[in-house]
Structure 1
């Protein structure tokens, strides 16, 4: 079953246009409106970023559901069910346990580059993790630029840093500017940032094209990095990531999880199992290393 936040995402995706959601943010949630990117973002990613912002600001409340009912009265039974799911989740959710692994999902899709199904990737990863019964924390950041990447690394100190988006042929991460353009971050720059932090991610997953170069630059500073050797189709990266996290959450070793995710690509008839690359720091044994 989908988590309540993903059910809300699907409801907004199906029942509202991007223009309507931007108007709601402008009139009802000024703090949220300021965080939304430009018109270039896909409808799915806009819905996911809006849901994430509402959740972080504590705005998924009675006023939100009243607004949904007022704007879409035909769907009151669906909205009421959505409300009950959030209430049940709130009642059963304990205080955040910082001993649980934190996954920071950072996504960027500049305007001029092909649109990726990043919201679907985040949703599928989180939903698959929940089916395993694993205990974890999942935090997503959308339309990420330099500030958002710094926030993800410096403020949250994640155990797993997952980047989803585009990569340059030179190994650079392609983040977004405020206007939606591409902002390249060179491998040496990101490696320097990670090296400077006292708390480093245990695993970095670079689900973007040509990221093996960046993976090699990060290797001296983190226990393990997964990158892609070449251009990687969107469905390949997404399916690889989902299977990787499922295996990790079932307490498979890093090596077993990586090999399982690669082999799964063949099951999907995707001849791309040569693309993912696992790189580990010298003292790390991937056959014994576990993240959950």
Structure 2
């Protein structure tokens, strides 16, 4: 039975999909030999023995070859199917091409071989910029953690995409999440307020005036930074805020948000530092596709609005995108300062 072809974009052509596959392909020698051979002239799926022979891989590297095939199949770089009897060498499994990968093979190989070129690409949820950002530091004034109070759960939903070349559909995501919340049983207990193209000052104002229990950031991230709007029309690129500066802001505000949702690429690393000021963080362990991120957010908030515990709402969001065939299902990660609290609903 063939494995599902789980891709972010059915056309397989958005930048982050290609970068994702390039990263998973890597440069390990046997893996690359097998990948190049499978996407060579052969048309039909073949067995491991056939591929090893054609690629010139010696028999004493049989286990390495199997590991490489398993890795490529797991990350949807090749197909994996049961032998239909067309190969008579006793093999149970056959491996072959995937059309979406074949169509973008050269780009995948290019970015797998050139990390600098990969890092410079503006994708849907990664910034495509490097280097230390500069901005004004916030004067710290450490205060105690505030618990979620009141009848409504207030959510500040920050929607930003200062780099139009990345074609990020964060606005559509916010629209879908808002619609999903309206349809759940406890919708009257959720106050979601979108903040469009937010700058750093907008975040400060949102924390001071709206006093949200949850801050959701939907946009670009990576290297322990989030990309905010710079509010200058025609000037693309935005302003990068590093996690340390955001921590200083959380330390400086009087009402601490109970949680952060960082729906942006590669935001797990360094996110634990937020737990000094928040109870939980949901962050991404790698580059996540736009559609997967959007679908996760919709399912996550629908579950919260149905009275589901925080921990289970994250799990349901992951299961939901896994069921839709996305390869990003394990990326959303819940970090918590209080495991017992994570087992309770945020809305009840």
TM range (shorter): 0.5 to 0.7
Measured against aligned partners, the alpha-carbon deviations of 1:154-189 in whole angstroms (never above 9, x if no partner) come to 221101111100002x12001111224321111011
What residue is the counterpart of 2:199 in the other structure? 145
Between structure 1 and structure 2, the one with the greater Rg is 2
Match of residue 91 from structure 2: none
Q: What SS does the aligned partner of 1:128 have?
A: helix
Are the equivalent residues in 2 in contact too, given 1:106–1:152 (CA < 8 A)?
Answer: no
Among candidates 259, 263, 287, match of residue 319 of structure 2: 263
1:172 equivalent in alignment to 2:225: yes
Q: How does 1:70-89 map to 2 (within 5 A)?
A: none
The alignment's TM-score, normalised by the length of structure 1, stands at 0.63
1:1-292 alignment, distance < 5 Å: 99-111=151-163, 113-134=165-186, 135=188, 136-168=190-222, 170-179=223-232, 180-282=236-338, 284-292=340-348
- Alpha carbons of structure 1 residues 257 and 270: separation in structure 2 relative to 1, 3 Å: same
In structure 2, the gaps of 5 or more residues are 1-149
Q: Deviations over 1:219-268 (max 9, x none)?
A: 12111110001111111111001100011111111111111110111111
- Indicate if the aligned counterparts of 2:307 and 2:345 stay in contact, CA closer than 8 A: no
Contact 1:172 1:214 in 2 (8 A): no
Report the Cα offset of residue 213 of structure 1: 2.6
Aligned residues: 195
Query: CA separation in 2, counterparts of 1:187 and 1:127?
Result: 31
* Structure ranking higher in helix proportion: 1
Give me the CA root mean square deviation: 1.8
Contact 2:153-2:346 within 8 A present in 1 as well: no
Deviation, structure 1 residue 101: 1.2
The whole-number CA distance in structure 2 between the counterparts of 1:202 and 1:291 is: 13
Q: What CA distance in whole angstroms lies between the structure 1 residues aligned with 2:165 and 2:292?
A: 18
Residues 55-89 of structure 1 show CA distances to partners (whole Å, capped at 9, x for unaligned) of xxxxxxxxxxxxxxxxxxxxxxxxxxxxxxxxxxx
Separation of aligned partners in 2, 1:282 and 1:140 = 28
Q: Which runs of 5+ in 1 are unaligned?
A: 1-97
Deviation per CA, 1:25-54: give whole Å up to 9, x if none. xxxxxxxxxxxxxxxxxxxxxxxxxxxxxx
- Once the two structures are TM-superposed, the CA of residue 192 in structure 1 deviates from its matched residue by 1.4
Shift of 1:280: 0.6
Runs of 4+ in structure 1 deviating by more than 6 angstroms, as ranges, are none
2:239 aligns to what SS in structure 1? Answer: strand
- Calculate the TM-score normalised by the size of structure 2: 0.53
The 2-side partners of 1:281 and 1:202 are apart by 11
Q: What secondary structure, in the 3-state scheme, does the structure 1 residue paired with 2:163 have?
A: coil
- Distance (Å, rounded) in 1 between the aligned partners of 2:268 and 2:322: 21
Where relative contact order (Cα < 8 A, 6+ residues apart) is larger, the structure is 2
- CA 1:283–1:270 in structure 2 vs 1: closer, same or farther (change >3 Å)? closer
Q: Is residue 261–residue 283 contact of structure 2 (8 Å, CA) maintained in 1?
A: yes
- SS of the counterpart of 1:163? strand
